[in-house]
């Protein structure tokens, strides 16, 4: 695996490249960084040039000063700059959660730059309806009570299951734990509100040259992100595509997840 950096306005992105073949960009969501795909990446690198990265403001991609007023837009522009740097024609992209919202915004701005976008459980507020009525103001919890309290409120409301901490952490795992704690602070303090405020332009998405796949987890039914994923598929006139596991099935079931993702990408290549 090769690690490189890319200077962009207001930040420096760190990204990793592994494997050979057509480019497949993996985009994490929320406070996650490239390590979200540690288990999935080697399952795909025998047939793809797999690219992972830390979005601006997270882990190895520091920002200069305060985030701008359009953080989702900035993340989308960063993806455009990264794909331009990578070259090689339209890429395939798998994007999870808030990363899927980044990529939907990117698709609206740069239709056709991505050949196939698998948008896995994007938590689009428009489609959450009554689920939002009971959703706590997590950024306010963060401001008033700190990261740990906000994490508790967030995981309870979303239905996501945080990974258990390692029983005997290595120095690398301890360092990653510190990074993730800081990432949650950035997420609750800046990114979560931006993701929650994002609205899709359905006409632009329908007209885009990018083939969009709306993915959902087989075991995450009833959670807000799963509900939103189904609703997005319906709004775009698509059949939702199930992937193994829950919201983070790519981490907990990487082998079957990679098999399913490869099937989906191959099907879409054949129908283009």
Listed by start position, the domains of the chain span 2-129+200-271
SS3 211: strand
Residue 35 in tokens: 């390590």
Q: Tens of pLDDT along the chain (272 residues)?
A: 999 999 999 999 999 999 999 999 999 999 999 999 999 999 999 999 999 999 999 999 999 988 988 999 999 999 999 999 999 789 999 999 999 999 999 999 999 999 999 999 999 999 998 778 778 999 999 999 999 999 999 999 998 877 777 888 888 888 988 999 999 999 999 999 999 999 999 999 999 999 999 999 999 999 999 999 999 999 999 999 999 999 999 999 999 999 999 999 998 554 44
For 129, half-sphere exposure in the C-beta direction (CA atoms, 13 angstrom radius) is 7
Burial environment of residue 134 by CB neighbours within 10 A (0 to 12, 13 to 18, 19 or more) = exposed
Cβ neighbours, 10 Å, residue 94: 29
Look up the pTM and report it.
0.95
Q: Which CATH superfamily is domain 2-129+200-271 in?
A: Alpha/Beta hydrolase fold, catalytic domain (3.40.50.1820)
End-to-end CA distance of the chain: 31
């Amino acid at each position: 695996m090769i690690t490189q950096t890319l200077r962009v306005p207001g930040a420096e992105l760190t990204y990793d490249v592994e494997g050979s073949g057509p480019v497949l960009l993996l985009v994490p969501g929320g406070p996650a960084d490239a390590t979200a795909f540690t288990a999935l990446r080697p399952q795909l690198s025998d047939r793809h040039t797999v690219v992972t990265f830390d979005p601006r403001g997270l882990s190895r991609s520091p920002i200069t000063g305060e985030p701008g007023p359009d953080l989702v837009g900035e993340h989308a522009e960063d993806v455009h700059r990264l794909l331009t740097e990578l070259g090689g024609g339209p890429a395939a992209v798998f994007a999870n959660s808030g990363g899927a919202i980044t990529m939907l915004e990117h698709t609206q701005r740069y239709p056709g730059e991505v050949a196939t976008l698998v948008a896995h459980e994007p938590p689009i507020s428009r489609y959450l309806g009554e689920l939002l009525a009971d959703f706590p103001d997590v950024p306010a919890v963060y401001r008033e009570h700190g990261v740990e309290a906000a994490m508790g409120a967030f995981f309870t409301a979303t239905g996501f299951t945080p990974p258990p901490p390692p029983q005997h952490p290595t120095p690398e795992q301890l360092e990653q734990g510190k990074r993730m704690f800081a990432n949650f602070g950035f997420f609750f303090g800046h990114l979560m509100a931006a993701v929650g405020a994002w609205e899709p332009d359905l006409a632009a998405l329908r007209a885009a040259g990018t083939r969009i796949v709306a993915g959902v987890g087989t075991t995450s039914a009833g959670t807000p992100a799963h509900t939103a994923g189904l609703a997005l598929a319906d709004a775009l006139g698509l059949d939702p595509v199930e992937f193994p596991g829950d919201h983070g099935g790519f981490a907990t079931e990487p082998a079957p997840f990679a098999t399913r993702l490869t099937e989906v990408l191959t099907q879409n290549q054949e129908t283009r």
